[in-house]
Structure 1
Amino acid sequence: MLDWGDVPTWAAALFAGGAAFFAYQTIKSQRQQIGEQRQFIGEQSRFMDEQRQNLELERAELRAAAEDRRVAQARQVRMVDSLVPVGTEGAALRSAEVVNGSDAPIRDLEVRFGTAYIAAEVYEARGSQDRGPLALGERWITPLALLGAGRTAVFRSQAWPETTAHNNRPTLFFTDDGGVRWSLDSYGKLEEVPAGGPS
């Protein structure tokens, strides 16, 4: 007859085998849970990245909309530049018709001709540019403190020889209803004037 050992040895061997099996199952289960957690964390990271990208796009759209609103009034201000002959000796002056096409007033209007010459005269404009030349109305003080919505003012330089007048194109400086200072040149280029810049 075979000697299978004693019962306590068999019981210890069975217990050790059962413990090893349960340890293996526990480790296997923990590995599976760790894998699922990594997958969940990866999915959450991708979701959070998508949310971050969406928020960045929304912020960019909001900034663009705010910038459009900030610039909207200034874009409705127009300036028409013309050379006006004066007398018979080849003299001329520059005339800048400034139209506030917005629905709010603009303030502190100043027109500079070239880099150094401030407008010599400013007038209220009467009539419509669509129907021909504007008639000059009341003479106003320069720089012009306020130009109401839908109003037009005509800024004029001093009289110069025609070549000097030709070379001194106007630039308009004004402050919009939101308090932002702008410059608009005779080519239609609109720029915000930095703090401490020309006023």
Structure 2
Amino acid sequence: MGPLQWGDVPTAVGALFAGGAAWFALQTIKSQRQQIGEQRQFIGDQLRFMAEQQQNLALERAELRAAAEDRRWSQARKVEVSHVRAASTVNDQGEALVDHWLVIVANRSDSPVHQVDVRFGTAYTAHEVHEWNPQRSHPTYEPGERVVAPVDLVGPGRAVRFASQRWSSATVHNNRPTVYFTDDSGVRWSKDWYGKRDEVPTAEPPTPS
């Protein structure tokens, strides 16, 4: 074995340290990549969680809105309206020469309704308004006590009958009834001759001309 060549020692030591530094650098890069990967996975999991939470919140809000809308409509759906054309004069062929509308508004809900009124066409109010027994099967039966329209309050299980003026058949046909009422929460509603029910944006029905 020959003598140690000291000139090669610094080179060897330098190479050793360089190799160690490269190994540590490689390990650091691997560790950083692993941390970045874990962070990305964590962020992805959080984003998915937040998306699921937002979706759940949106569904909950939709369910709450639907429940509130159903509650808002629940009483209005229980206000029943029936109407009939009652002929008072007919010709030899049985055709009505003079007839009128009879409209029954029955409150089938558990709460009162307010400011109940009927408009015939756009220009006519009811000629007569009476209390009505909702158990009676036909609007032409004798009504109860006379009341003033709009009827301030119709309690649960109560009803009122509105009668139009007596007109020719053509006038009756062209002035079909629309019922207006305010539910117990203060929402104003209308129900037309076709059975369509709508919320009225104003506090009162249209003013007759």
Q: TM-score if structure 1 supplies the norm length?
A: 0.92
Q: State the alpha-carbon separation in 2 of the partners of residues 86 and 4 from structure 1.
A: 135
1:1-199 alignment, distance < 5 Å: 5-87=7-89, 90-126=97-133, 128-129=135-136, 131-133=137-139, 134-195=141-202, 198=205
Please state how far the C-alpha of 1:87 moved relative to its aligned partner. 4.2
Please state how far the C-alpha of 1:163 moved relative to its aligned partner. 1.8
Please state how far the C-alpha of 1:4 moved relative to its aligned partner. 8.0
2:27 aligns to what SS in structure 1?
Answer: helix
| Identity %, equivalent residues | 58
1:57 aligns to what SS in structure 2?
Answer: helix
Gap regions ≥5 residues in structure 2: 92-96
Q: State the alpha-carbon separation in 2 of the partners of residues 75 and 21 from structure 1.
A: 79
1:65 aligns to what SS in structure 2?
Answer: helix
Asked if structure 1 preserves the Cα contact closer than 8 Å seen for 2:106 and 2:134, the reply is no
Asked if structure 1 preserves the Cα contact closer than 8 Å seen for 2:99 and 2:166, the reply is yes
2:58 aligns to what SS in structure 1?
Answer: helix
Q: State the alpha-carbon separation in 2 of the partners of residues 122 and 143 from structure 1.
A: 9
Q: State the alpha-carbon separation in 1 of the partners of residues 185 and 134 from structure 2.
A: 28
CA RMSD, 1 decimal: 1.9
Q: State the alpha-carbon separation in 1 of the partners of residues 134 and 67 from structure 2.
A: 35
Asked if structure 1 preserves the Cα contact closer than 8 Å seen for 2:178 and 2:192, the reply is yes
Asked if structure 2 preserves the Cα contact closer than 8 Å seen for 1:127 and 1:135, the reply is no
Please state how far the C-alpha of 1:187 moved relative to its aligned partner. 1.8
Q: TM-score if structure 2 supplies the norm length?
A: 0.88
Q: State the alpha-carbon separation in 2 of the partners of residues 4 and 190 from structure 1.
A: 105
Please state how far the C-alpha of 1:99 moved relative to its aligned partner. 0.6
Q: State the alpha-carbon separation in 2 of the partners of residues 83 and 132 from structure 1.
A: 11
Asked if structure 2 preserves the Cα contact closer than 8 Å seen for 1:126 and 1:135, the reply is no
Deviations 1:8-43 (A, max 9, x none): 222122112101110111011101110111012112
Asked if structure 2 preserves the Cα contact closer than 8 Å seen for 1:113 and 1:119, the reply is yes
1:98 aligns to what SS in structure 2?
Answer: strand
Asked if structure 1 preserves the Cα contact closer than 8 Å seen for 2:119 and 2:179, the reply is yes
Asked if structure 2 preserves the Cα contact closer than 8 Å seen for 1:180 and 1:192, the reply is yes
Please state how far the C-alpha of 1:88 moved relative to its aligned partner. 5.3
Deviations 1:97-147 (A, max 9, x none): 001111111001110011111111110012514x44443000000111111
Q: State the alpha-carbon separation in 1 of the partners of residues 35 and 161 from structure 2.
A: 79
